[in-house]
Amino acid sequence: MALGAIVWPAFFLADLYLGLVVYPGAPVALYAGFRLLGEVAIFAVYRESLRRDISSRRLKTSNALVCTFCSVLISIMALRLGGLGSPYIHGLSLVIFVEALAVPAPWRDTVRYAAPSVASFPAIVAVASLFDPALASALREGHQLAELGAHYMILLAAATIAAASGQVGWSARVQLRKARRLGRYRLEARIGEGGMNEVWLAWDEALKRNVALKMLRSSAETDARVLARFEREALALSRLTSPHTVRVFDFGASDDGISFIAMEYLPGADLQQLVRESGPMPPERAIALAIQACRSLTEAHAAGIVHRDIKPANLFATRLGDQHDVLKVLDFGIARLVSDATRTQSVRGTPAYMPPECWMDGEADARSDVYSLGATLYFLLSGFPPFENADAAQLVRAHMLETPVPPSKRRGEPLPASLDALVLRCLAKSPSDRVASAKELEDALVDCASALGREWSNDDARASWLARDREKDEERMSLVASSGAR
The DSSP result for 323-374, as a single string, is EEEEEEE---TT-EETT---------S-GGG--HHHHHTS---HHHHHHHHH
- Other CB atoms within a 10 A radius of the CB of residue 257 amount to 10
Cα gap 335→368, rounded to integer Å: 12
Contact 81, 88 (CB under 8 A): yes
Spatial CB neighbours of 196, under 8 Å, sequence gap ≥ 6: 216, 217, 220, 226, 230
What is the phi-psi region of residue 247: left when phi exceeds 0, alpha when psi lies from -120 to 50, beta otherwise? beta
- CA-to-CA distance for 12 and 32, rounded, in angstroms? 7
- 309, 331, 369, 420: which is the annotated catalytic residue? 309
Rounded CA Rg of the chain: 31
3-state secondary structure of 245: strand
Q: Are 105 and 157 in contact (CB under 8 A)?
A: no
132 vs 141: CA distance, rounded Å: 15
d(CA 234, CA 219): 20
If we measure between CA atoms, which residue out of 390, 401, 389, 388 comes closest to residue 360?
401
Q: Which residues contact 125 (CB under 8 A, 6 or more apart)?
A: 75, 79, 84, 135, 139
Q: Does residue 254 contact residue 260 with C-beta atoms inside 8 Å?
A: yes
C-alpha 246/C-alpha 483 separation (Å) is: 39
Instruction: Give the integer Cα–Cα distance in Å for 343 and 190.
Output: 35
The residue count for the chain: 486
For residue 61, which amino acid is it?
T
Helix (H, G, I), strand (E, B) or coil at 164: helix
* 309 carries an active-site annotation: yes
Give the residue numbers marked as catalytic.
Answer: 309
